[in-house]
Structure 1
Amino acid sequence: MPSETPQPAFVLVRPQMGQNIGAAARAMWNFGLDRMRLVAPRDGWPNPDATAMSAGAGRLLDEAQVAGTVAEAVADCTYVLATTARPRGLTKPVLSPERAMAEARDRIARGEKVAVLFGPERAGLENADIAQANAIISVPVNPDFASLNLAQCVLLTAYEWRRQTVDVVAEDMAMGGSEWANVKELDALAKHYEERLDTAGFFFPEAKAESMKINLRNLWSRMPMTRADVQMLHGILRQMVRWKERGD
């Protein structure tokens, strides 16, 4: 059974290759979408090529609704979006994928049913298909090479849906099993280096020694270091001192 998560239906209109249907299912499931509808697939349905290409998203294919026309496929919907990469000469709102999925999110939250139409691989949706949609999704592609693969277009739209419905962390830090070093640990590192550098005669002339130490501590404080980093730097200094003491 499809998940109960509120979401739009993705409608593949007259898809030509089973492999592309399978790849589209995989792209949908990557972003938590599982309501696929098919309009008059060229090679019939089910299609073993689609299953082979779905890579674990076969459930979407098993549960896909099949219709003979676009009107039948979206009959239960109150808002329909049509994807296209070229001008159509039709008077309709033209939305970016981001804006379109924000609109879909808001309408679905109000209890509406939303569908997104994707055209066949050869030439995309026909004007007769687009005429049945409330708005157009236009992807800002290279105008000299505007054609998107069916699965690519599905992936892009599904990604934008995910961005509109899930808190996406813009930046995070993978800690690699360590934790950030605290002030006490950084202070111990600074003292260790100060002691060894002092012994080595680094802080010269003496009149500048204090400012040099401050600059060094400022360097440590600017560096976002983990405990593992601090331990490594301690270890490097100890090994250098041992090497010098051995006289190698």
Structure 2
Amino acid sequence: MPTDRPQPDFVLVRPQMGENIGAAARAMWNFGLDRMRIVAPRDGWPNPAAGAMASGAGRLLDEAMLVDTLPEAVSDAHFVFATTARSRDMTKPVMSPERAMQLTAEKIADGQRVAVLFGPERAGLENADVALANAIISVPVNPEFASLNLAQCVLLTAYEWRRASEEVQAETVEMSDTEWANQRDIEALAAHYDARMDEAGFFFPEHKAESMRQTLRNFWSRMPLTTADTRLLHGILRQMVRWKDRGG
């Protein structure tokens, strides 16, 4: 059975190719979604091509709800989104995938059930399908090539669901057996270089020495150094001094 985690139902309406159904299942499971509903698949069900394409997400296909009509598929939903790339001349809210999944998260947190409709590959949802929806999800695609593959549309929407429902870090740094250098580490590195460069006569002419020292110290502060970095830089300078003392 699908997991109990709160999530929307993704409804594939009259999908045509088993490969696309399998790819859609894989895209859903990439982002932790496993509530798939399939309405009147063209080539019948089960579909071996779907299972082959789903790879490790085959469970979604085994547990998918199979129905004959769209009204059956959304009968228990409190709110329904229809994904479409073209104007339907209907008075409905039209949302970006990002906003739609934010609203979905809000409604699910309120105890409501939300369904998202994805149309067949050739022409997308029919107007009669869209008429059953409360709102439309429209992807800001290139107007000269607006057609999205079924699995791509599922992937994009699933990704926005993940962003809306979980804390997604915009940027992280993988630390490999080290940690960030603290101010003591930075100060020791700055003092080491200052002393050795002073011995080498780097801070010249005299009236510019203070400004040069400040620029160098600011350089160390701007760099996001780890303790491993500081050890390496200390080692480089020590080796250069040894090399000089040996006569180059």
- Normalization by structure 2: what TM-score? 0.96
Structure 1 residues 97-246: aligned runs within 5 Å: 97-246=97-246
Tell me, in whole angstroms, the C-alpha distance in 2 between the residues paired with 1:240 and 1:130: 72
Which 4+ residue blocks in structure 1 deviate beyond 4 angstroms? none
Q: Which residue of 1 aligns with 2:72?
A: 72
Q: Distance in 2 between matches of 1:7 and 1:188?
A: 52
Kindly state the Cα deviation for residue 172 of structure 1 after the two structures are TM-superposed.
Answer: 2.3
Between 26-35 and 191-200, report the one with greater CA deviation.
Answer: 191-200
Task: Return the letter of the residue paired with 1:69.
Answer: T
The alignment-based identity, stated in percent, is 72
Matching of residue 26 in structure 1 with residue 26 in structure 2: yes
Q: CA RMSD in A?
A: 1.3
Q: CA deviation at 1:78?
A: 1.6
1 CA distance for matches of 2:105 and 2:223?
42
* Aligned equivalent of 2:39: 39
- What is aligned with 1:6? 6
CA distance in structure 2 between the partners assigned to 1:207 and 1:80 by the alignment: 73
Q: TM-score, normalised by structure 1?
A: 0.96
Q: Which consecutive unaligned segments of at least 5 residues does structure 1 have?
A: none
SS of the residue 2:187 aligns to: helix
Cα distance in 2, alignment partners of residues 95 and 221 from structure 1: 44
Gaps in structure 2 of 5+ consecutive residues: none
Separation in structure 2 between the aligned mates of residue 229 and residue 90 of structure 1, nearest angstrom? 60
SS of the aligned residue for 1:57 comes to: helix
1:107-151 deviations in whole A, cap 9, x for unaligned? Answer: 212221111100000010011111111111111111000000000
Secondary structure of 2:56's aligned partner? coil
